[in-house]
Amino acid sequence: MSHLKDLDPDMYNGLVQLLDCEDASSAMLNFETTRTTMFGETITTELKTNGSNIDVTNDNREEYVELYLQHTLIDLVRPSYEAFKRGFYKVCECEVLEWFNANEVELLICGSPTLDFDSLKEGARYDGYEASTDREGNQVSSSQIIIDFWDVVQNELSSEQQRKLLAFATGSARAPINGLKELHMTITKAVESEQLPTSHTCFNQLILPEYPNKNVLREKILVAITHATGFGLL
């Protein structure tokens, strides 16, 4: 039921009401379901043998819900899932996959959905901007533009804007399995101070001009990450 709630909240609510109501027969349902395809074709499917002639009552409503979930969440998607499964295992067939559950496999393939920009800052490197190494071996910069950059990124950008910035600089809006620090993003000083930030996503390299103040920096970053599609990525 929780999966159906994500897929079709209205139908989820309807089934919950069906299970909780005093008289399920008042819903005037039988053991069949109707759907409309993307081409406008109406398809009616019996959920069990002779289902069109079996009314849903208090005695069989739980069976109806189970069969509906089976049909909607498993039977209808089985052909597409089997095709995806064949393609997936052609590329990723490996005994190691059997060691993980579904959530862990997603983490391995897609990375972590949680963005820790403190970690990204710890792993950052600097090219053209003044930098030194702290006790933990991380690079730190005393350049005002770099200080302002991290202040804007960590404290002034929304979560969605942070994701756009990460995708702009690295090509992905997800964190690798070991966290953003592992990206070792390089912030390189640009020659021209009037241009927008650009990037080399293959190298996790952000090319950042030395803007005159934080307000200009914020404005340039927002323009770059908002209008990055089609240009600005080198």
Q: Do 2-79 and 117-226 agree at the fold level?
A: no
| CA end-to-end span of the chain | 46
Whole-angstrom Cα distance, residue 11 to residue 16?
Answer: 9
Q: pLDDT of 106-124, one tens digit each?
A: 877 777 777 899 999 999 9
Whole-angstrom Cα distance, residue 171 to residue 116?
Answer: 17
Helices 159-170/214-226 angle, 10° precision: 70
Joined tokens for residue 96:
């190691």
Spell out the domain ranges in the chain: 2-79, 117-226
Q: pLDDT of 45-91, one tens digit each?
A: 999 999 999 999 999 999 999 999 999 999 999 999 999 989 988 88
pLDDT score recorded for residue 53 = 95
pLDDT score recorded for residue 234 = 41
Choose the catalytic residue: 21, 92, 110, 202.
Answer: 202
Q: Is 155 exposed, middle or buried (0-12, 13-18, 19+ CB in 10 A)?
A: exposed
- Local structure of residue 182 (DSSP, 8 states): G
Ramachandran assignment for 189, one of left (phi > 0), alpha (psi -120 to 50 degrees), beta (any other): beta
Q: Does domain 117-226 have CATH number 3.40.50.1580?
A: no
pLDDT score recorded for residue 89 = 86
> What string of pLDDT tens digits covers the 234 residues of the chain?
988 998 899 999 999 999 999 999 999 999 999 988 888 899 999 999 999 999 999 999 999 999 999 999 999 999 999 999 899 888 877 777 888 888 888 877 777 777 899 999 999 999 999 999 988 889 999 999 999 999 999 999 999 999 999 999 998 888 887 889 999 999 999 988 889 999 999 999 999 999 999 999 999 999 999 987 654 444
In terms of Cα–Cα distance, which of 178, 232, 171 is closest to 207?
Answer: 232
CATH classification code of 2-79: 3.30.2160.10
Number of neighbours of residue 209 by Cβ within 10 angstroms: 19
| Residue 21 annotated as catalytic | no
β-pairing verdict for 132-133 and 139-140: antiparallel
**CA diameter of the chain:** 79
